[in-house]
Amino acid sequence: MTADAKHTIRKLEKAGEYDLRVEWDDGVVMHYNTASLRRACPCASCIHEWTGEQILDPLSVLETVKPVRIEPVGRYALRFHWSDRHDTGLYTFDLLRSLGEPESSPQKND
Amino acid sequence: MNLDQNNLRAALRELRYPGTDLTLEAGEIIDDLRVKNDDVLIRFQWPTPFPASHQSVKEAVERKLREIGVNRTHFQEQVEIPAHPRQSEKSLLPGVKNIIAVASGKGGVGKSTISANLALSLARAGASVGLMDADVYGPSMGLMLGASGRPTMADEKTLIPIDAQGIRLMSMAFLAGDDTPVIWRGPMVHGLIQQFLANVAWGDLDYLVIDLPPGTGDAQLTLTQLAPLSGSVIVTTPQEVSLIDARKGLRMFQQVKVPVLGVVENMSYFIDPGSGNRTEIFGHGGGRRTADELSIPFLGEVPIDPEVARGGDDGMPIVRRNPESPAARAIATIAEKVSAQLAELAIQSRGAAALHLDWDDN
């Protein structure tokens, strides 16, 4: 009906201490390393608004960063409250879709 | 046929709520269904306030049930407008269920007239409605609704909206006066709008209609970003120049991911009150074409009617002044479509509201 995000998220899950699992509406499942996701923060204090240059020094993000809380924003994005107290990034579904690692289909060894 | 819950529900499965793709089941419109001997009792929870929609559902349900041999149906009903999922609990407008922005790419297309009449149509249907005149450059709502009072203060910084013909109204004009031009620079506009959103005691509302300033500049962008808008309506006239600007409005909303509920073509045609002849002064059909091109819904066309303008000038908008006139009926239909789409969006995104995750609780 509207030109909104092409895919929406159906389910969020903590798969490991630093592993976020996301189920999409088309059945695709993706995983996200929490520190990598923090480094990809799209907010104006992490990415320069005009040049698109990254302001955030990726090395300043510890491997042990993880979300404290994740909440939906409208029907198009998620807001992450990170353990390093950063919480201004809105991760659109489009962005998340491009960042995720598809879950490898379970190997059957029988 | 043996009547039980399941085959009754199966019989009704295909029915949809008017103006939406929602089935009665998925939309939770059938709140309760009971069978007692030969009697069937259905309790409806209507997601929009318009009785005509309710009536058509009731008739369709009766028809379906008669087909499977149920002749004694009893209905209970209540209206419960679903709330658009809030951006967060800390939303600026916690008691407001749906926020509709009315926008236009350019001035002079009748955006404020449509806003006022849209708000009144929703209120006439029984919804609790607020109207925010955010046209910082030329607020006119006070005049249109014949409200000249000044809002009172609930406390040091909270303004209480004025009651105007059954809707709660807040306008820049109340602060600046109708004929004082408001001249604002960008940052002032931002601050003003923020204040407008945060410091007005709207109370509980089913719908808040925001009359945006014309164009796609600072003020519009600020509003679309600060207010958790549920959807937007774009008003245009049939001329090409107006349509080009309507497209700009549409792109703005798409960028900030506010769903565009549709396009309204205002001043669509003129019916000569003497002869009844229809004249398409500015051409016709451009609104529908534009909507089709951009694949957004076309909400309707509102004819030119001198009474619309008169209604605006003497503080009695057309949907109250002459509710049976073609212009008033057109706007009421638009309001019905808008409320149906908002209900659909709210119900469909109930799932999205479940996307909360507290990391350490897991």
List of chain B residues whose C-beta atoms are within 8 Å of the C-beta of residue A2: 254, 259-260, 296
What sign does the CA torsion over B342, B122, B333, B307 have? negative
Find out whether B98 and B206 touch, Cβ atoms under 8 Å. yes
Which one of A2, A4, A19, A64 would you mutate to disrupt binding with B, by most B Cβ within 10 Å of its Cβ? A2
- In chain A, DSSP finds a helix count (H) and a strand count (E) of 2, 7
CATH number of the domain that residue B284 is part of = 3.40.50.300
Beta strands in chain B (DSSP E): 30-36, 39-46, 72-79, 96-103, 129-133, 152-153, 159-160, 162-164, 167-171, 205-211, 231-236, 260-271, 278-279, 298-304, 357-358
Place of tokens 């500049």: B217
B327 and B198 co-located in one domain: yes
B108 and B70 co-located in one domain: no
B61 and B128 co-located in one domain: no
How many domains does chain B fold into? 2
What sign does the CA torsion over B330, B333, B339, B342 have? negative
- List, for residues B250-294, the tens digit of each pLDDT value: 888 877 778 889 888 888 777 777 777 777 766 777 778 888 887
Of these ranges, A93-102, B228-237, B302-311, B340-349, the one predicted with the greatest mean pLDDT is A93-102
Evaluate whether ipTM surpasses 0.90.
no
Token pair belonging to B152: 């009172």
Could you tell me which CATH class the domain A34-102 is placed in?
alpha beta
CATH number of the domain that residue B30 is part of = 3.30.300.130
Report pLDDT for B43: 94
Q: Is residue B292 part of a domain?
A: yes
- List, for residues B10-36, the tens digit of each pLDDT value: 889 889 999 988 888 878 899 889 988
Report pLDDT for B76: 95
B128 and B73 co-located in one domain: no
Token pair belonging to B119: 């708000």
Report pLDDT for B149: 76
Q: Which domain holds residue B261?
A: 96-348
Residue stretches of chain A with pLDDT short of 50: 1-5, 107-110
| Residue in chain A nearest B345 by alpha carbon | A75
Strands across the sheet with A67-73, in order? A90-92, A77-82, A67-73, B357-358
B166 and B293 co-located in one domain: yes
Residue in B257, B296, B358 closest to A74 by CB: B257
Residue in B295, B349, B359 closest to A68 by CB: B359
List of chain B residues whose C-beta atoms are within 8 Å of the C-beta of residue A72: 85, 352-353, 355-356
What sign does the CA torsion over B57, B58, B60, B61 have? positive
Report pLDDT for B181: 56
Q: Is residue B105 part of a domain?
A: yes
* Average pLDDT across chain B, whole number: 83
Q: Is residue B89 part of a domain?
A: no
| pLDDT-based confidence at residue B210 (cuts at 50, 70, 90) | very high
List of chain B residues whose C-beta atoms are within 8 Å of the C-beta of residue A43: none
B262 and B320 co-located in one domain: yes
